[in-house]
Homo-oligomer: A and B are copies of this chain.
Amino acid sequence: MRATLMYGAGDVRVEQVPDPVIKLPTDALVRVTASCICGSDLWPYGSMKPEDGPARMGHEFIGIIEDTGPEVTTVDRGDLVVAPFAISDNACQFCREGLHTSCAHPQAGFWDGEADEGGQAEAVRVPLADGTLVKLPVEADSALMPSLLTLSDVLGTGYHAAVAGGVNERTRVTVIGDGAVGLLAVLSAKRLGAEQIILMGRHQARTDLGREFGATDVVSARGEEGIEQARELTGGNGTHVVLECVGNMPAYEQALGVVRRGGVISRVGVPQYEDAPVGFGSLFRHNIRLAGGPAPVRAYIEELMPDILDGAIEPGKVFDASTDLDGVPAGYRDMADRKTLKVLINP
């Protein structure tokens, strides 16, 4: 079959690879019908060393079950399923607490831990199929497909930012980042009833979509100027919650600048730093909390799916381009160049 491999920074190729096969009795084999490129794929696209490659790419997909191992009981051949970006057994103590990204099962983990698998391909072997996969009650050609695909990562990640930040009807929220995760963090904050949602981002087509998703204000300035503008919108105090959906140090510093005393910075953008200011001069002085991490999107699928099925939310609007597998390398390039927001793949 054909699959996407990254050979190094800026070097993505679609190549012939061995067909995946069932290896363990808990595996399922999924023929991919829709997948996509993630903002987090752009980090290695910008910096991956050739000696670390080639790596199979893709961790968000929907597909049809082609085969299952003998111990798989909750999904069956022919089922249309969505796969979260983390493999989990949905049964351990962490999964039962809704923290599927910290599943204790030895086979649990992220897709990049599966050297021979990736969602930007024709097919995928899915470990722990019962825990990982969720059946979709539609056909593979449903018009809802883009929105349902966001359940695999980007919607659940935006939602996790808002949940981990404790967003409710009494909170003012700043969202840092107008990427797909940031925009769906806006949608999530709106869904949880936030009183005010300030979206910080520079790309008007994106911030316009952010307004459609529920942003009450947009701040396009960055750095100190952006911080000042955001604070002005809140009477000077900053917002109770900041959803940091980028992951680099400028975004973290921006979050420190706009968070209210006693507030919380909720991070879902994978940090591109290890150390950061957390001492008296940053978090400690005013009891500012730090929350977030890899989103346990599996925990949110049952909660969010009905809103997609009944049209209450349309998170699939973050896809502004689509391609077949041949177009995936160009899809990476366009996303990296910010020509496109998020690329849907129909293999």
| Residue ranges of A at the interface with B (Cβ–Cβ < 8 Å) | 93-94, 97, 99, 101-102, 164, 237, 261-262, 267, 270-271, 273-294, 296
Contacts and interface: CB of A to CB of B under 8 A. Distances in A.
Contacts of A279: 271, 273-276
B276 A278 contact: yes
A320 to B, nearest CB: 28
Contacts of A275: 275-279
Contacts of A285: 293-294
Given A93-B237, A289-B291, 18 more contacts: A94-B262, A99-B286, A101-B286, A101-B287, A270-B284, A271-B278, A274-B277, A275-B278, A275-B279, A276-B276, A276-B278, A278-B278, A283-B293, A284-B293, A286-B293, A289-B290, A290-B290, A290-B291
A292 B278 CA distance: 11
Nearest to A236: B104
Given A271-B278, A280-B271, A99 B262 contact: yes
A289 B292 CA distance: 7
A99 B271 CA distance: 29
A96 B95 CA distance: 37
Contacts of A99: 261-262, 286-287
A261 B291 contact: no
Nearest to A268: B284
Contacts of A102: 261-262, 286-287
A138 to B, nearest CB: 31
A275 B249 CA distance: 12
Contacts of A271: 278-280, 284
Contacts of A164: 287, 289
A261 B104 CA distance: 10
A293 B282 contact: no
Contacts of A281: 274
Nearest to A275: B275
A278 B284 CA distance: 14
Given A286-B293, A287-B292, A289-B290, A270 B280 contact: yes
Contacts of A94: 261-262
A278 B277 CA distance: 9
Nearest to A101: B287
Nearest to A272: B279
A145 to B, nearest CB: 29
**Those 8 A-B pairs whose CB atoms lie nearest each other, nearest first:** A287-B293, A274-B279, A102-B261, A290-B290, A271-B279, A99-B262, A275-B275, A289-B291
A114 B286 CA distance: 19
A102 B287 CA distance: 8
A286 B283 CA distance: 20
Contacts of A277: 274-275
A273 to B, nearest CB: 6
Nearest to A286: B102
Contacts of A273: 279
A270 B279 CA distance: 8
A291 B101 CA distance: 21
A293 B290 CA distance: 12
A283 B293 CA distance: 8
A276 B271 CA distance: 13
